[in-house]
C-alpha cells in the first residue's frame, strides 16, 4: 500500500474556454503545472486538427495530463428526448476528441434543466441518466477514456426529498447522515 509520503500531488488548473487551449497549455508548461482541464465553454467546440496535434504535443512533451470537460448545459438526463439524445451524441463526440487530444478523463454533467417536482419525473430522469451513462462508459472503455460525473444542479433537492420520505416512513430505519 502506498504511503502518503510516496504520493506526489498533481497541480493543475481549468481553462476558461476552448479558444485558449494552446495559450493555457503553454502557460502550464512554462510554470510547471502537472494537469490541465479543457473546459467545455466558449463558442468553439470543434477543434481543428492542427490545434489538437499541438495541444497533444505540448502536453506530452511537458508531462501534463489532460482532462476534457463537456459543456454543462447539455443535460444527458433530459426528459425531452431530442435534448437527451443530442446531448448524448455530443458527449460521444467528446470521447473521440478526448482520445485524439490525449485526455484520459471526460467530465460530464447529468443535467438540471428539467427540475421536476414530481417524483415520477425524477425517477424518469434517473432512468435516462443511467441508460445514457452506460452508453458513455461503454464507449469510454473502448477508447480508454474514464468518465467523470458531476452531480445534478438539483441533486441535493432530490436527496433531501428522499431523506424526508424515508424518515417519515415508520417501516424504514433511520438513515442518519448517509444521504
In CATH, 23-168 is 3.40.190.10 = no
Instruction: Give pTM, 2 decimals.
Output: 0.74
Banded model confidence at residue 175, pLDDT cuts 50, 70, 90 = very low
Q: Give the H/E segment covering residue 122.
A: helix 119-142
- The stretch 147-169 carries a mean pLDDT of 61
pLDDT tops 90 at residue 92: yes
Pairing of strands 103-109, 146-150: parallel
pLDDT > 70 in the chain, percent: 72
Q: Where are the domains of the chain?
A: 23-168
Residue 12 pairs in a beta bridge with 35
pLDDT score of 136: 94
C-alpha–C-alpha distance, residues 33 and 111, integer Å: 31
- The stretch 11-27 carries a mean pLDDT of 84
C-alpha–C-alpha distance, residues 33 and 123, integer Å: 42
C-alpha–C-alpha distance, residues 73 and 137, integer Å: 20
Amino acid at each position: 500500500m502506498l504511503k502518503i509520503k510516496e504520493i506526489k500531488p498533481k497541480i493543475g488548473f481549468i481553462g476558461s474556454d476552448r479558444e485558449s487551449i494552446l495559450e493555457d497549455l503553454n502557460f502550464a508548461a512554462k510554470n510547471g503545472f502537472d494537469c490541465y482541464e479543457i473546459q467545455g465553454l466558449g463558442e468553439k467546440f470543434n477543434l481543428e486538427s492542427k490545434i489538437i496535434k499541438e495541444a497533444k504535443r505540448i502536453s506530452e512533451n511537458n508531462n501534463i495530463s489532460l482532462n476534457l470537460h463537456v459543456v454543462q448545459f447539455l443535460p444527458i438526463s433530459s426528459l425531452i428526448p431530442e435534448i437527451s439524445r443530442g446531448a448524448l451524441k455530443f458527449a460521444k463526440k467528446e470521447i473521440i476528441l478526448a482520445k485524439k487530444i490525449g485526455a484520459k478523463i471526460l467530465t460530464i454533467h447529468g443535467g438540471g434543466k428539467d427540475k421536476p417536482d414530481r417524483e415520477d419525473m425524477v425517477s424518469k430522469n434517473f432512468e435516462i441518466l443511467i441508460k445514457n451513462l452506460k452508453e458513455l462508459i461503454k464507449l469510454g472503455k473502448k477508447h480508454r477514456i474514464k468518465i467523470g460525473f458531476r452531480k445534478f444542479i438539483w441533486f441535493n433537492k432530490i436527496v433531501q426529498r428522499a431523506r424526508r420520505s424515508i424518515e417519515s416512513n415508520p417501516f424504514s430505519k433511520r438513515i442518519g447522515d448517509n444521504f
